[in-house]
Amino acid sequence: MAGLIVLLGLSAVGIADADQDRCSSRFPDVEWTTVEVDAPVSVATSGMAPEMAARFAADAARNANRIHNEIAGLDGVAVCLTTPEVTLDPGDLVAEGQRFHVGVSGEEKLFALSAVEIRFVADALAFGLPHIALYNLAHDIGLEGNYPEPLASTIGHWYLARDNGKAERYHSQLVVGLFLDNPNPEERTADEVTNWVGTAGEDPMEFDPKTVASPIGDLVDFAVRNHGIGVISDPSQETWAAIDMEWRTAMRDELLEGRQGSYGAEWGVAIVVVFILLAILLALQKRRQKKRAATKHPTPPVDESLFESSHS
């Protein structure tokens, strides 16, 4: 029995080493340094001081543990992080001539990043690692193709908002934004319902972490709070169209403090009237300010001598 335990322990070490070496296998011209993390992923860095490498490894571990505990799919993933001074040959991750930022591959179980801007590394990890987890989830549940878009990216936005602490702010923005878009979500036609499972997600995927922030992850937050994390394993349009309706209705009721009843044309008229009144008040205020300025600094009378001939 003891021999079996030792054998299993040696096997685990061998697997970890193999995972950590995959950055070198994918990018053989780069010198990699392994950073130990307590997570399902391995982390290797290049061109980084030990303090910076430890900071980013902690970001990777934090996000990987959260994602893996909730939807799994990150066992054996290699995270390869470099500074901009280190040149990566990303191969098929980006088009020729395009600058490489972040590339993720579910098939390769690989996350590769060139830290063009240090402050976006944590965002890149929070948004990119779910792609790999969802790729593996799609295969586990027998989907044809990868996990569908735009739902996959929306889940990525959910993880990103939770990691960067902006979830509440995004929710507040959407409470107002969705109401102004349509105060009566139950009246949306079938053509107006968002198609959350339009196309299969791409793999590998490349993105710029500066452009991925979005409040739309609030939809997933609502879905998980009301239906459990298992809802992510049901990427069907029927399910997510229904959740979309529940979410929009809940947002409207939250804005109106749970008032029941009709929210039809009278609300549209009320909003228009409010905007008109605000415009009128602003115009009157500006007019009043001009009058006050004229009273304090009256225009001096014209000096008639300016128009008289000096030879008269």
Could you tell me which residues come within 8 angstroms of residue 17 by beta carbon, excluding any fewer than 6 positions away?
none
Say if CB 52 and CB 115 are below 8 A apart: no
The reported pLDDT for the residue numbered 209 is: 92
Ranges assigned E (strand) in the chain: 33-35, 42-46, 78-82, 102-105, 110-114, 148-150, 197-200, 205-207
d(CA 217, CA 167): 8
d(CA 60, CA 105): 16
CATH topology of domain 26-255: Neutral Protease; domain 2 (1.10.390)
The full set of domain ranges for the chain reads 26-255
pTM for the full predicted model: 0.77
Judge whether residue 310 has pLDDT over 80: no
Confidence class for position 9, pLDDT limits 50, 70, 90: very low
Confidence of residue 8 (pLDDT cuts 50, 70, 90): very low
Q: What per-residue confidence (pLDDT) applies to 12?
A: 39
Mean pLDDT value across residues 25-35:
92
pLDDT for the residue numbered 16: 43
The span from the CA of 151 to the CA of 149, in Å, is 5
Q: Is the model more confident about 185 or about 285?
A: 185
The answer to which of 101-105, 128-132, 134-138, 289-293 has the lowest mean pLDDT is 289-293
pLDDT given at position 18? 42
Residue 10 has a pLDDT of: 32
Q: What is the pLDDT of residue 3?
A: 39
The secondary structure element, H or E, covering residue 276 is: helix 265-296
For the segment 128-136, the average pLDDT, to the nearest whole number, is 97
What pLDDT was estimated at residue 183? 84
* Greatest C-alpha distance within the chain: 126
More confident residue, 9 or 234: 234
Q: What is the DSSP string of 229-272?
A: GGGGG---HHHHHHHHHHHHHHHHHHHTTT--S--SHHHHHHHH
> What's the mean per-residue pLDDT of the chain?
83
Q: What is the token pair recorded at 171?
A: 């929710």
Query: How much is the average pLDDT of 145-161?
Result: 96
Cβ 146 vs Cβ 197: under 8 Å: no
The answer to whether the CB of 147 falls within 8 A of the CB of 135 is: yes
